[in-house]
Structure 1
Amino acid sequence: MPYLQAEGGRIYFVEQRPVRTSIPPPVIFIHGAGASHQVWIEQVRTLGRERRSIAVDLPGHGRSEGSGAHRIETYRDIVVQFMAGLGLDRTVLVGHSMGGAIAQSVALAHTEKIAALVLVGTGARLRVQPQILAGLESDPRRTIELIAAWGRAPGAPAEFLRQDADALLRTPVSVIEGDLRACDAFDIMQQVNAITLPTLVICGAEDLMTPPKYADYLHRQIADSQLALIPAAGHMVMLEKPEEVGERIKAFIANRTGRGRCPVMT
């Protein structure tokens, strides 16, 4: 099993490489609060046919050691350590929700290490409702089930919601709470326009947790950006529409050297 030693313990990751020569740059996928590399499996397979594609478990998540973090900056530094440990000079960072916050933080602090960004279901500020944080203490299972229920577009099959809740429940509640507190403290509304990297912003059109207005703000603030709204999808857009999300990311990276402001993708 692939592990990499980092501050606070070993970091687990999965990767796929093409049979023939890999096209640079490689891609690193970062999951959201309470999740794991599993949310990115389909996209790793799609992109891995052309270029080295890696999905990481943050500390305390999935198969990684550690106890999570309470600050986005802590996760940022671990991702940078992870990149260095793999000997990667420049990568594309793909982040979902909290992972998108981490990717933005890396981009602002270490622009030279990033070739492009893909921000999925995220924002420049991620506020968490106080009742969610309180609920994790008083009734964690019910609260996690509610989080899972809000994660997909309305009308999603109950079986999928159960699967999402079960996946979150495999993460220690203390780690989920730390993640959500890190999200709640994240606010780069006044700094995000300093991101100059080619950026693809993806959002489910029916995202209830980080609604399209969050994605639109990112698109308006990041000069060299594209915005892709995915119909009939919610916050877990990469699970709800795996092929479309994978192909959007693949096409964006292939054309990332284009100049000027990119339009909305429909």
Structure 2
Amino acid sequence: MLLTVDDRDAYCYTGGKPFDATLPTAVFIHGAQHDHSVWVLQTRYFAHHGFGVLALDLPGHGRSKGAPLASVGEISDWLLKLLDAAGVRTATLIGHSMGSLVALETACRAPSRVDKIALVGSAYPMKVSDTLLDEAQHHEQHAIDMVNIWSHSGIAQKPSSPGPGFSVIGGNRRLMQHIAAGNPAPVFHTDFVACNSYTNGDIAAASVRCPTLFLLGQQDMMTPPRATASLIKAMPAARVVRLDNCGHALMAEQPDAVLAHLFDFAVGRT
């Protein structure tokens, strides 16, 4: 589905069903150098089980036009405009990595618009090393390779992978290359700078009153579970789930477990 935000096309995948704003809405927010496709299993299930789904492509990513936005705050403001364009009053926000910071900031800026937030592969501060920032700016393919190594718990595929011979790591690598090829702007570097420069996490977390889920990978080297300590402390009522045999690419490495936890949280079973 194409919407218009700031006079530019904004694409949202709706899970294989027409979007219905009268249903409870689940908004899925991807991370750096990704697009809506990282949520394909989860979004299709949500859309066929009672939710209106908006799995967005952030500006400069996938099918959404324009340059990538430079800060988490700018992305949050853009997201609220997208909800307006879709006719959505309130939504459950589900964000991965950079997208988790966007969900958190949006719940702080517009609490009346957010029913629940799920923070997947999150951390705060979400610092990016100087080496990785430099590689993303000057040697993007090197940065893609580095992140792919650090985002997965191992090279062997899990039983929940689509089938023999399927490469989770290879699929993620090709997606990141596709995002790089689709926009002349330095998308990866811009995304990393947005993560690295976000400083409102503690204040935002302390302000959140809606139900919150942390979904973390035990073997995550990009956003280690211990890096969520300050956020979890600020939200003592939040539910925290740590998935074993799982790195930063939770939706690819443990897709069924991620779906089960997210859906149970969204419908209020946890």
Secondary structure, in 3 states, of the residue corresponding to 1:16? coil
In 2, the alpha carbon distance for the partners of 1:72 and 1:183 equals: 7
1:253 shift after superposition: 1.6
Do structure 1's residue 166 and structure 2's residue 174 form an aligned pair? yes
Match of 1:229 in 2: 242
Structure 2 stretches of 5 or more lacking a match?
A: 158-165
Give the 3 Å change call, closer, same or farther, for CA 18–60 of structure 1 in structure 2. Answer: closer
Instruction: Indicate the residue corresponding to 2:153 in structure 1.
Output: 153
Q: 2:33 matched to which residue of 1?
A: 34
Which one is further off, 175-184 or 215-224? Answer: 215-224
> Match of 1:12?
11
Work out whether 1:175 is the aligned partner of 2:183. no
Select which of 216, 231, 235 maps to 1:203: 216
CA contact (8 A) 2:33 2:187 kept: yes
- Looking at structure 2, the residues matched to 42 and 54 of structure 1 have their Cα atoms a distance apart, in angstroms, of 13
Per-residue CA deviation, residues 161-196 of structure 1 (Å, 9 max, x unaligned), is 222111111123601111100000012343122211
Does structure 2 retain, via aligned residues, the 8 Å contact 1:153–1:207? yes
Measure the CA separation in 2 of the matches of 1:169 and 1:142.
Answer: 11
Instruction: From the superposition, tell whether residues 187 and 76 of structure 1 become closer, same or farther in structure 2 (CA, over 3 Å).
Output: same
The AA in structure 1 aligned to 2:255 is: P
TM normalised by structure 1 equals 0.89
SS in 2 for 1:227: strand
Larger deviation, residues 184-193 vs 202-211 = 184-193
Stretch of structure 1 that moved more, 164-173 or 5-14: 164-173
Matched, 1:45 2:71: no
Following TM superposition, where does structure 1 have runs of at least 4 consecutive aligned residues deviating by more than 4 angstroms?
21-24
Distance 1:200 1:23, change over 3 A: farther
1:137 Cα deviation from its structure 2 partner:
3.2
Equivalents in 1 of 2:24, 2:170: separation in Å? Answer: 36
Instruction: Provide the residue aligned with 2:81 in structure 1.
Output: 81
Segment of structure 1 superposing worse, 23-32 or 72-81: 23-32
- Greater shift, 69-78 or 44-53, is seen at 44-53
Task: Give the deviation of 1:48 after TM superposition.
Answer: 1.5
Aligned length in residues: 255
Q: Quote the Cα distance in structure 1 between the aligned partners of 2:152 and 2:104.
A: 24
Deviation of 1:17 after TM superposition, in Å, equals: 7.3
Question: Residues 123 and 8 (structure 1 numbering): CA distance in 2 closer, same or farther, change over 3 Å?
Answer: farther
Contact kept in structure 2, 1:203 and 1:215, CA below 8 Å: no
State the one-letter code of the partner of 1:202: L
CA distance in 2, matches of 1:165, 1:240: 14
* Gap runs ≥5 in structure 1: 257-261
Letter in structure 2 aligned against 1:124: Y
**1:65-100 deviation digits (Å, cap 9, x = unpaired):** 111011111111111011011110110000000000
TM-score calculated relative to the size of structure 2: 0.88
Instruction: Tell me if the contact between 1:202 and 1:215 (Cα under 8 Å) persists in the aligned partners.
Output: no
Q: What's the % identity of the aligned pairs?
A: 25
Counterpart residue type for residue 28 of structure 1: V
